[in-house]
Amino acid sequence: MTELILIRHGETDWNRELRFQGHVDVPLNATGHEQARRLAERLAAERPVVHHLICSDLIRTQQTATPSLQVLFPEARIDTLTDSALREQNFGVVDGKRVDDVKLEHADAWNQWLRFEADYGMPGGETTRQFHTRVMDAVYRIAQQHSGQTVMVVTHGGVLDMIWRTARGTGLDGPRQSDIPNAGLNRVRVSGEAVEVLDWADVRHLADLPEQPVYDQTKLVVR
């Protein structure tokens, strides 16, 4: 079995603006950089056994991972540790748009998306099922390559949602049910295709920072 320490990237301005970030390369804002620094500070204090660090190839995850990389593997280069399969979901034509803009410019797509159906994706983007397959193929590959070890994975909220759903067996239909804070610590154990949640949404290292923007899909569901 393999243990994964899963980290969502730190905050970006687009998180604050409730934009679909998707595959757009958005950097961290000042709060996000501080979250990344706090994460590394916690790792430096706790010194968990971590054998490898892998992150998405988008800049917001690389900037989040860099301080922790310097603590855990000071000789490593971040550009050698990225995996594009760990990217956020591709939202197609709405990547980069605020929710209010999507409602106006792509009303039909927005209304269909609100049903949170596994086989629907925004025009030009991935369906949830396609996204889930990409994510879990990457998770199982990483777990197999590093069997018996602990790997820190810095990625995106949607990726963590797919892992949570797999672990809990909740299926791919319906809105997100788990808390996935920026720069929070999450731990899972992977054995074959079984995923077990060990700890989730631990933000003790961020306790005195500004309250995070929360994107609550359960409030958007069509009743």
CA geometry: angle at 84 spanning 14 and 19, to 5°? 15
Known binding-site residues for substrate equal 8-15, 60
What's the rounded Cα separation, in Å, for the pair 37 and 68?
8
Q: Tell me which H or E stretch contains 43.
A: helix 30-46
How far CA 217 is from CA of 28, 174, 177, in Å, comes to 23, 9, 8
Catalytic residue positions, numbered: 9, 88
Q: Please give the single-letter amino acid code of residue 100.
A: D
CA 85 → CA 68, 194, 204, distances in Å?
Answer: 21, 20, 29
